[in-house]
Amino acid sequence: MNRETANPVWESFWSLKRNHEWWTHAAPEIEEFVASQSAQIRPDVLDLGCGLGRHAILFAQAGFRVTAVDGSPAAIRRLREWADRLSLRVQTEVCDFLGGRMPPASFDIILSYNVIYHGRREKFAAAIDRVCALLRPGGLFYFTCPTRNDGKYGFGRELAPHTFECEKSITPGDIHYFADEADLDELLSKFRLRERTKREGRWNNEGEDQFYSNWHVLAEKI
């Protein structure tokens, strides 16, 4: 866990306890997704960019074999402590989500919630390719990313088409890539689309009411 492995944006964020409370509660849609899956049929799960581990814990409680990776040592330490308190086994690693030591075809389910769009499109595409390599045939990939209707689209410094560096954010300096349907279809060419929904609403962004619009995608490796 040396400093070179840490993502500085997220290490700074997760090192502050005031940022923990919200992110210890599983998202309702992921609770529904976990309930829809069988640990006997698809036993091996990767939580890619796990943060504090709310969804890794959820899968482990449901009987899945769980691996969780994140670029923040502080987040991984918190997850290990949480799993120990609950007597749950979660394999963890501090790494960039394009790295890690997992061999190909290791997982039946990969979850990446609010993670892989943090960067330019080529990094987003590389992450999806990495997921495809790590999944077994018929494995499921559930991920989220912002649509081009999201309130953050067009704000901050434009680094590339549909790519903006956030200036006013809970994680200043963070980069977001925003996708549309055609873009996702191209990126997921090695997958069969099972479900794609758009979830929208309002949230409090550092005291400012802001509209959010996110894709929730479930795809199956062909």
Is residue 220 over pLDDT 90?
Answer: yes
pTM, full prediction: 0.92
Q: What is the pLDDT of residue 14?
A: 73
Residues 39-47, mean pLDDT to the nearest whole number: 98
Q: How confident is the model at residue 204 (pLDDT cuts 50, 70, 90)?
A: confident
Rounded-to-integer distance, Cα 130 and Cα 203, Å: 31
Q: What is the pLDDT of residue 207?
A: 78
Residue 158 lies in a domain: no
Residue 157 lies in a domain: no
Residue 11 lies in a domain: yes
| Alpha helix ranges (H) inside 53-110 | 54-61, 73-85
Residue 166 lies in a domain: no
Looking at the structure of the chain, the number of domains it has is 1
Is residue 19 over pLDDT 60?
Answer: yes
Q: What is the pLDDT of residue 174?
A: 85
CATH of the domain at 34: 3.40.50.150
Q: What is the pLDDT of residue 58?
A: 98
Q: What is the pLDDT of residue 41?
A: 98
Which structural domain, as residue segments, surrounds residue 23? Answer: 3-148+180-221
Residue 169 lies in a domain: no
Considering only residues 1 and 23, tell me which one the structure prediction assigns the higher pLDDT: 23
Residue 15 lies in a domain: yes
Beta strands in 5-161 (DSSP E): 44-48, 65-70, 90-94, 107-112, 135-146, 157-160
Residue entry with tokens 């036993």: 43
Residue 173 lies in a domain: no
Residue 171 lies in a domain: no
